[in-house]
Amino acid sequence: MMVGQNRCGCSLRMFRWFRKAQVRPKRLLFVCGAPRSGTTALTHLLNTHPAIVLGVERYRRLLMGERVRGEPDEVRRFIGQLFERDRLLFEQHPDDSRPFPPGEVASAAVKFDQCTYVGDKAPALFRRIGTLAAAVPEAKFIIIVRDPVPVAVSWQRRAERENDTWPATRDHRAAVPMWNESVKSALEALDTLAPHQIACVRYETLFAEATARSQWFGLMDWLGLPADPPLFSHTRLMLAESVRRASSPRCIPQHIERHIRATADFELYEQLCQRTLGKL
């Protein structure tokens, strides 16, 4: 055991903070962005932190449904019930989109009582940020943005894959309008919400070897959570795998790339990139 660490491998500073967290009320944290922008990778990365418990499209349909469009007090009560411990981790109702990630249930159950943030990731939730923020102003939102070419190419590959739940109609041509909408919505949310309510991260920066560490530390600072080297070493393996995937060379058909570059709003994209975490 290293000097200054407890039996769990956390630094004493982290351990003391985590013990104090028992008296802290939970806050809601949501991750969103255009589908195939890295929302899942970011969510699993966040779940490596002892103070964060997030579902992976646990309540996608519910969060995008009519009950989130009601009066703020009703929405607040509804959302609060969804993120109670047993409801989030163990119960499965007909309107739920997915169970809590099976491989993360055990660790989530252990840290739930002491965690600071609970929440979910739902890619299209960028359409509901204003409504949710009005009902739960203390909630935080992380939007991840990625270059439209790999996003749309990923849509195309999923659409072409046999025995995939991804609809064949959601190809590269369908990807660009939604990507454009996500970028526009992110800029509007950044203009409307306070800086402590919303942060935008760039996939290419978060999952790049040269900047991954500083981006992670910056994100933890924005969340008000410690991110010391012992904790980061626990996260590093997952980051490294995401970096490897992000840097893998891909062959993109020319006609697909031409369509993406002709229809994606790169001007808005550049504006958003200048407002991502670490740029402000």
Instruction: Determine the pLDDT at residue 57.
Output: 97
Q: What is the pLDDT of residue 278?
A: 80
Which DSSP state fits 118? Answer: E
Mean pLDDT of 121-135: 97
* pLDDT (tens digit per residue) in 215-260: 999 999 999 998 876 666 667 677 677 667 666 667 788 999 999 9
One-letter amino acid of 18: F
How far CA 17 is from CA of 1, 23, 211, 221, in Å, comes to 20, 11, 26, 14
Query: At a CB cut-off of 8 Å and minimum separation 6, what does 22 contact?
Result: 113, 114
Tell whether the model's pLDDT for residue 59 goes beyond 70.
Answer: yes
Per the CB < 8 A criterion, the answer to whether 231 and 2 are in contact is no
Claim: this prediction has a pTM higher than 0.85? yes
Mean pLDDT over the full length of the chain: 88
Residue 269 is encoded by which pair of tokens?
């994209």
Spell out the alpha helix ranges (H) of the chain.
Answer: 12-20, 39-46, 60-63, 72-82, 85-89, 105-111, 129-135, 148-160, 172-192, 203-206, 212-223, 229-247, 254-263, 266-273
The fraction of the chain above a pLDDT of 90, given in percent, is 70
Query: 34 exposed, middle or buried (CB, 10 Å; 0-12, 13-18, 19+)?
Result: buried
Say whether pLDDT at 63 is over 90: yes
What does the domain layout of the chain look like in residue ranges? 12-148+193-252
Cβ of 146: how many Cβ atoms within 10 Å? 24
CATH node for 12-148+193-252: 3.40.50
Q: From the CA atom positions of the chain, what is the Rg in Å?
A: 19
pLDDT tens digits for range 11-49: 555 556 556 555 467 999 999 999 999 999 999 989 989
pLDDT band at 9 (very low <50, low <70, confident <90, very high): very low
